């Protein structure tokens, strides 16, 4: 096997697929893409409605926090894609970029000039092949197909109208002039096929002679000589050690857990963390692994009394019917991403939405539990700009071990208060006439849990129910000073020939789903790299 390339990209998730495809197509250099998981051959990945099966199978694993005091001592598990395409191959396919102000804050508050909304919007537009919208906010000539949801569920219509009755405006575009409103999401699913980064960006370029995709390869550490990253030490699927050299650059796109872990294993990180595990210090960088943040939610759940949700749709005759509809006719439930509708709402009066709601005609159990065994629905409030911050460290020098993870996910009172407001509005939506005729008893928080201001029992219920929204970010923070992990062109401070280009570089989490922003970050990294080579 060839073991020397111009560019070595570590992590074949959403960012890695975008970056590898562009460098292979445009740089003229040789590119290696390393992914610890397998190829995206699992059928559950590509059928939109079966994403939950992909999340529960071989193509995903979870990083579990230490006991979290902000959750009453419970751990906080965060599943991650472990497959080509990463999160874009196992997520719920909601296409949301975040608010204009998020990116303007990156520039104005965090000093990341060149990352304001006016700078990133052209990248979003050039990536997008939107099937409906063509205007100053959307493109139709890119590779990422963005569509309206298929097989819209009747409960979706009802909950959107109920939300509007509760005082929320209507929207038909969460990524347009403003984010606020209730309506149907746009999604990265089209004609019954998930539109992952692997499918849209990597697949068209995968047969290029200058692109090598290595799956089943675990990156163990970076080899650094004279303060320059020159190679990746890895193990293949059989455990054989291999050194893969990079003549130009190494780019980490392994996500908010594994990119900082690899830096620390390579001697780039906080001094005390590396000394504790006997890692030779190459460059002291105190912020590596710091600034962890994630969206967190608590789904307000009601039984369905006079309507049918999705309970049992994956079993027996119902599953057979859906399979026939999909495989024979290319239609029906399996073409749907299931999470079709939602809302972004300003519950605090700040002038910006601070709670995102997912609406769904099904309901999960508690964190880590099986779905409910009856027809139910959820209105799921989630924090949009969390204030709580966690951190990562090393568990050991063994690269196969997950990092040590301190989530602190509801440590800040402001985040708890955001979820309180979210629960109150969700309950108000359920009481609107559009839903009152189809809902039954409240499952969570439950009829005995009040949501008035000062309700300690509600706080306890939120801590018990709190769960990740699968958007970890921030652990290799970008910034304008040498104390940041990466500079404004995503180069690791203090080390030559090394960048990080995934959602770990976000100085602050965007207000919404992270798949689209992660692909945007990778595309900008390609711009920086290609410009540097001129």
Catalytic residue numbers read 471
Asked if 131 and 146 touch (Cβ cutoff 8 Å), the reply is: yes
Residue with token string 């970050």? 521
Crossing angle (nearest 10°) for helices 117-127 and 515-532: 100
3-state SS, residue 4:
strand
Length of the chain counted residue by residue: 534
Q: How far is the CA of 321 from the CAs of 186, 239, 324, 335, 340, in angstroms? A: 26, 43, 5, 13, 21
**Inter-residue contact 68 to 405 (CB < 8 Å):** no
435 C-beta neighbours (distance < 10 Å), count: 23
DSSP-derived pairing of the beta strands 341-345 and 268-269: unpaired
Own/partner contacts of 70-76, CB < 8 Å, gap of 24 or more, are 70/388, 70/407, 70/408, 70/409, 70/410, 70/411, 70/463, 71/407, 71/409, 71/410, 71/463, 71/466, 72/460, 72/463, 72/464, 74/367, 74/463, 74/464, 75/407, 76/405, 76/407, 76/409, 76/466, 76/468
Q: Please classify residue 447 by burial: count the beta carbons closer than 10 Å to its beta carbon, then call 0-12 exposed, 13-18 middle and 19+ buried.
A: exposed
User: Contact at 8 Å (CB) between 223 and 233?
Assistant: yes
Helix (H, G, I), strand (E, B) or coil at 468: strand
| Neighbour tally for 131: CB within 10 Å | 14
Q: Please say whether the beta carbons of 285 and 494 come within 8 A.
A: yes
CA distances from 44 to 47, 50, 86, 412 (A): 5, 5, 14, 38
Token pair recorded at residue 11: 């992590």
Angle at CA of residue 490, ends 486 and 496, nearest 5°? 75
- Coil, strand or helix at 216: coil
Instruction: Say which residues have a Cβ less than 8 Å from residue 239's Cβ, sequence separation at least 6.
Output: none
Q: What are the DSSP calls for 121-175, one per residue?
A: HHHHHHHEEESS--BTTB-BSSSEEEBPPSS--HHHHHHHHHHHHTTPPB-S-TT
Q: What is the phi/psi pair of residue 399, to 5°?
A: -70, -15
Residue 330 token pair: 């290319």
Q: Residues with Cβ < 8 Å from 230, sequence gap 6 or more?
A: 223, 224, 245, 246, 497
């Amino acid at each position: 096997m060839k073991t020397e390339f111009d560019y070595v990209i570590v992590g074949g998730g959403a960012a890695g697929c975008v970056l590898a495809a562009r460098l292979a197509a445009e740089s003229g250099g040789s590119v290696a893409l390393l992914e610890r998981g397998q190829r995206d051959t699992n059928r559950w990945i590509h059928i939109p409605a079966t994403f939950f099966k992909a999340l529960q199978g071989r193509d995903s694993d979870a990083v579990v926090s230490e006991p979290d005091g902000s959750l009453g001592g419970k751990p906080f598990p965060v599943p991650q894609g472990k497959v080509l395409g990463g999160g874009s191959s196992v997520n719920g396919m909601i296409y949301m970029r975040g608010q204009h102000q998020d990116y303007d804050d990156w520039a104005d508050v965090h000093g990341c000039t060149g990352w304001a909304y006016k700078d990133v919007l052209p990248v979003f537009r050039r990536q997008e092949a939107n099937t409906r919208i063509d205007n100053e906010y959307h493109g139709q000539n890119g590779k990422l197909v963005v569509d309206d949801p298929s097989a819209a569920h009747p409960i979706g219509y009802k909950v959107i109208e109920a939300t509007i009755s509760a005082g929320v405006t209507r929207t038909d575009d969460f990524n347009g002039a403003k984010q606020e409103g209730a309506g149907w999401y746009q999604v990265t699913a089209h004609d019954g096929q998930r539109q992952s980064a692997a499918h849209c960006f990597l697949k068209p370029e995968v047969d290029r002679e200058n692109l090598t995709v290595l799956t089943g390869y675990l990156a163990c550490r970076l080899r650094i000589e004279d303060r320059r990253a020159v190679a990746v030490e890895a193990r293949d699927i059989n455990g054989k050690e291999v050194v893969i050299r990079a003549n130009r650059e190494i780019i980490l796109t392994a996500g908010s857990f594994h990119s900082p872990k690899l830096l620390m294993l390579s001697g780039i990180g906080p001094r005390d963390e590396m000394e504790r595990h006997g890692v030779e210090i190459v460059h002291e960088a105190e912020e590596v692994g710091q600034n962890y943040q994630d969206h967190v939610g608590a789904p307000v759940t009601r039984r369905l009394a006079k309507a049918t949700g999705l309970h049992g749709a994956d079993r027996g005759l119902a599953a057979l019917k859906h399979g026939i509809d999909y495989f024979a006719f290319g239609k029906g439930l399996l073409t749907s991403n299931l999470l079709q509708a939602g809302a972004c709402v300003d519950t605090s009066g700040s002038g910006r939405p601070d709670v995102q709601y997912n609406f769904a005609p099904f309901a999960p159990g508690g964190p880590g539990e099986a779905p409910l065994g009856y027809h139910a629905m959820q209105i799921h409030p989630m924090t949009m700009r969390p204030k709580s911050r966690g951190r990562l460290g090393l568990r050991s020098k063994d690269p196969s071990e997950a990092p040590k993870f301190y989530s602190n996910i509801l440590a800040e009172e402001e985040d708890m208060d955001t979820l309180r407001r979210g629960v109150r509005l969700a309950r108000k939506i359920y009481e609107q006439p559009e839903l009152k005729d189809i809902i039954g008893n409240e499952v969570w928080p439950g009829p005995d849990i009040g949501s008035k201001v000062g309700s300690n029992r509600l706080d306890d219920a939120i801590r018990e129910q709190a769960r990740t929204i699968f958007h970890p970010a921030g652990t290799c923070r970008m910034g304008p000073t040498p104390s940041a992990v990466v500079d404004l062109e995503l180069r690791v401070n203090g080390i030559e020939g090394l960048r990080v280009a995934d959602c770990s570089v976000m100085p602050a989490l965007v207000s919404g789903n992270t798949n689209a922003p992660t692909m945007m970050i990778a595309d900008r990294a390609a711009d920086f790299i290609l410009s540097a080579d001129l």
